[in-house]
Structure 1
Amino acid sequence: MSSAERVHLAITDRFGGASVAPYDSRNLGGAVGDDPGAVRQNREKTALEFGLDPSRVVYMRQVHSAETAYVTEPFGAEPPALDAMFTDRPGLGLCVLVADCVPVLLADAEAGLVGAAHSGRVGTALGVVPALVRAMAERGADPARMTALVGPSACGLCYEVSAELRDEVAAGLPETWSTTRQGTPALDVRAGVAAQLTAEGVTGVRHDGRCTIETPELYSYRRDRETGRFAGYVWLDD
């Protein structure tokens, strides 16, 4: 098996789980008001479908920060406040939960390192993705070798914000400046993340360009408010 074949990246959708409306049906978010038993079933089923041990999947307590951690095992019942993590441990699945924010999955197959980041508007402005790239580089990853998957998120034509907020975010990251189809101020967080990856030297960037607000098979907080979370997973085979 080549080093690249050891790396797996996946994006889930909202179908095939145990949750009922408004979380129907594969909600993986444990802090959105869904039945904990249904969430547990959904997480276990998803891990098994990916060939992962459900007890070896790491979840963060995402707080829209730039906090990043190297992980070697799941956190248990009380995950720390983090928005990015990475590992070199085979069989350890890293999970990032989203419903409009950008899930970013990173890998340097040669170094045997994979990472995941939750990059919403606040986290992107704070630089959570550059923080993850740099933290992985400190443990031997090379940004020039990295591959990145930028997952589904609210697109720049749908993510309406105030003019003041657009100006504030774009002052630090001009690529986020956008306008909706109706001509109102908006943010393109995906474009901001892509620019950050480029600035860090990551050239192997792929996109799942679906807009969460426009895609019924994905959860969207902006569209539905009370809803679930889909996920990005990344892991290394043995």
Structure 2
Amino acid sequence: MTTPDQPWARRPAIPGLRALVTTVHAGNLALHAGADPGGARAARARLEERIGRRVLFVSQIHSPRVVRIDRTTDLDAFAADPPECDALVTARDDVALAMMVADCMPIAFADPDAGVVGAAHAGRRGLLDGVIQNTVAAMTDLGARPERIRASVGPSICGRCYEVPADMLEEAVRSNPAASGETRWGTPAVDLQSGARWALEQAGIRDEHMELPTVCTLEDEDFFSHRRSSASGRFATAVWRDGSAENPDSARHAAQR
């Protein structure tokens, strides 16, 4: 049970985006990480109850692959055998899309005018391979327009902490020139968050429609971090369409800090 100084989730501040980011106080949401799959299932059930919609998770593989959820999607079959991908898009108003992370970037997208939402998991590999651009393109196929899309990048490891070998940084910069970083102790680093801004701009997202994180998962113990502990659980970003069905009590459960 969380207390007022331990919010179970934080909400993006960007207007037009219905989403939340869970904290460690909501529990580990990953069935593949942590020591208690039963606890993860219970945490997922609590998340669904508080959002008031079915929450869809996938098998994340650090890819640029996007899967579309439409009215023909069998949600029970989807949950029983989640697809391997790192982004989801939908125009359905009865589901929430979730991506789990523990240092990578969880990104929520919405075009409130078109009624289209998306969620992406962007680690170093996914960022460089174009998962952000692919998500925006898939939303456009559903009627969204890039200049209307809102995008919120959730808590993730910052460029001052994400140390990598020099050859890995060189590879990153070839694909994403804004991803170049340096740790606070002067070694090569990948700046995922600056790289995300560049990729969003390349996809046509307007600067005033972007939100970047103000916390680093390695530094902020309200969030799971794989670099802090290899046994870490996972938190998640969930996004859904504005409209019917959000649990009216959910606002009192989710606090923004």
Task: State the Cα distance separating 1:127 from its structure 2 match.
Answer: 0.4
The aligned residue for residue 194 of structure 1 is 197
Task: State the Cα distance separating 1:201 from its structure 2 match.
Answer: 1.1
Among the aligned pairs, what percent are the same residue? 39
The aligned residue for residue 68 of structure 2 is 70
Instruction: Indicate conservation of the 8 Å contact 2:169/2:180, yes or no.
Output: yes
Matched letter for residue 40 of structure 2? V
Task: State the Cα distance separating 1:193 from its structure 2 match.
Answer: 1.1
Task: State the Cα distance separating 1:5 from its structure 2 match.
Answer: 8.4
Please list every run of 5 or more consecutive structure 1 residues that lacks an aligned counterpart in the other structure.
17-25
Matched letter for residue 35 of structure 2? D
The aligned residue for residue 57 of structure 2 is 59
> Counterparts of 1:19-98 in structure 2 under 5 Å?
26-52=27-53, 56-72=54-70, 73=73, 74=75, 75-98=78-101
Matched letter for residue 55 of structure 2? V
Residue by residue over 1:172-231, the C-alpha shift from the partner in whole angstroms, topping out at 9 and shown as x without a partner, is: 111000000000000001111111111111011012321000000100001111110000
Matched letter for residue 207 of structure 1? L
The aligned residue for residue 15 of structure 1 is 25
Alignment partners' CA distance in 1, 2:102 and 2:16: 28
Matched letter for residue 76 of structure 1? A
Task: State the Cα distance separating 1:91 from its structure 2 match.
Answer: 2.2
Q: Aligned-pair RMSD on alpha carbons?
A: 1.5
Matched letter for residue 148 of structure 2? R
State the secondary structure of the residue aligned to 2:39.
helix
The aligned residue for residue 175 of structure 2 is 172
Please list every run of 5 or more consecutive structure 2 residues that lacks an aligned counterpart in the other structure.
1-13, 245-257
Task: State the Cα distance separating 1:51 from its structure 2 match.
Answer: 2.6
Matched letter for residue 226 of structure 2? Y
Alignment partners' CA distance in 1, 2:171 and 2:68: 31
> Counterparts of 1:147-158 in structure 2 under 5 Å?
147-158=150-161
Alignment partners' CA distance in 1, 2:163 and 2:234: 21
The aligned residue for residue 7 of structure 2 is none
Matched letter for residue 42 of structure 2? Q
Instruction: Indicate conservation of the 8 Å contact 2:160/2:181, yes or no.
Output: yes
Alignment partners' CA distance in 2, 1:131 and 1:6: 21
Alignment partners' CA distance in 2, 1:50 and 1:135: 24
Matched letter for residue 149 of structure 2? M
Q: Choose 190-199 or 30-39, whichever is displaced more.
A: 30-39
Normalising by structure 1, we get a TM-score of 0.90
Alignment partners' CA distance in 1, 2:165 and 2:15: 44
Structure 1: which 4+ aligned runs deviate by more than 3 Å?
4-7
> Counterparts of 1:129-148 in structure 2 under 5 Å?
129-148=132-151
**Do structure 1's residue 224 and structure 2's residue 234 form an aligned pair?**
no
Matched letter for residue 225 of structure 2? S
Alignment partners' CA distance in 1, 2:124 and 2:158: 12
Matched letter for residue 148 of structure 1? A
Residue by residue over 1:119-166, the C-alpha shift from the partner in whole angstroms, topping out at 9 and shown as x without a partner, is: 000000100010000111122100000100011101000000001100
Matched letter for residue 162 of structure 1? P
The aligned residue for residue 124 of structure 1 is 127
Instruction: Indicate conservation of the 8 Å contact 2:101/2:121, yes or no.
Output: yes
Task: State the Cα distance separating 1:37 from its structure 2 match.
Answer: 1.4
State the secondary structure of the residue aligned to 2:56.
strand
Alignment partners' CA distance in 1, 2:112 and 2:123: 26
Alignment partners' CA distance in 1, 2:186 and 2:37: 41
